C-alpha cells in the first residue's frame, strides 16, 4: 500500500502532467476548479490533501472524470490501460458473436 504522502505526490504529479499537456497554467486550472492558485499549487505539489469535491472539480477542469474502482478490478483496468504490445497476442477481453464478453 502506498503511504499517504506518496499517494498525494503521485496524484499531484498526474495533475501536473495533465495540466502541462493542456498547456494550462496553475492559475487557469485553479480558476476553472473554483479554488485559489496557492491551494492548487499545494495539491499539485503533493504537500496538501484535497477534499473529494475539490479533486472532482480539478479533474473536470482538466477534462477528466474522477472514478472509484473496486480494488479487485484494478488489475483489469490496468491491463486495459496498457499500450498494445506485439508480444502480447491476447486481448484483455474478447466479445463473442452472440454479445457475451469473455474475460
- What's the predicted TM-score (pTM) here? 0.69
Q: How do the domains of the chain map onto residue ranges?
A: 4-61, 71-102
**Do residues 19 and 61 make contact, with C-beta atoms less than 8 angstroms apart?**
no
pLDDT at 92 exceeding the cut of 80: no
**Arithmetic mean of pLDDT, 46-71:** 94
**Candidate CATH numbers 1.10.260.40, 3.20.20.70, 3.40.640.10, 3.30.450.190; the one for domain 4-61:** 1.10.260.40
Q: What is the pLDDT of residues 14-42, one digit of tens each?
A: 999 999 999 999 999 999 999 999 999 99
| Sign of the alpha-carbon dihedral angle for 59, 64, 70, 72 | negative
Amino acid at each position: 500500500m502506498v503511504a499517504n504522502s506518496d499517494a498525494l505526490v503521485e496524484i499531484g504529479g498526474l495533475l501536473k502532467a495533465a495540466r502541462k499537456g493542456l498547456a494550462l497554467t496553475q492559475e487557469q486550472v485553479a480558476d476553472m476548479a473554483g479554488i485559489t492558485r496557492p491551494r492548487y499549487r499545494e495539491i499539485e505539489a503533493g504537500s496538501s490533501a484535497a477534499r473529494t469535491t475539490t479533486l472532482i472539480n480539478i479533474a473536470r477542469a482538466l477534462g477528466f472524470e474522477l472514478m472509484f474502482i473496486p480494488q479487485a478490478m484494478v488489475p483489469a483496468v490496468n491491463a486495459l490501460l496498457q499500450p498494445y504490445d506485439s508480444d502480447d497476442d491476447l486481448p484483455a477481453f474478447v466479445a463473442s458473436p452472440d454479445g457475451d464478453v469473455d474475460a
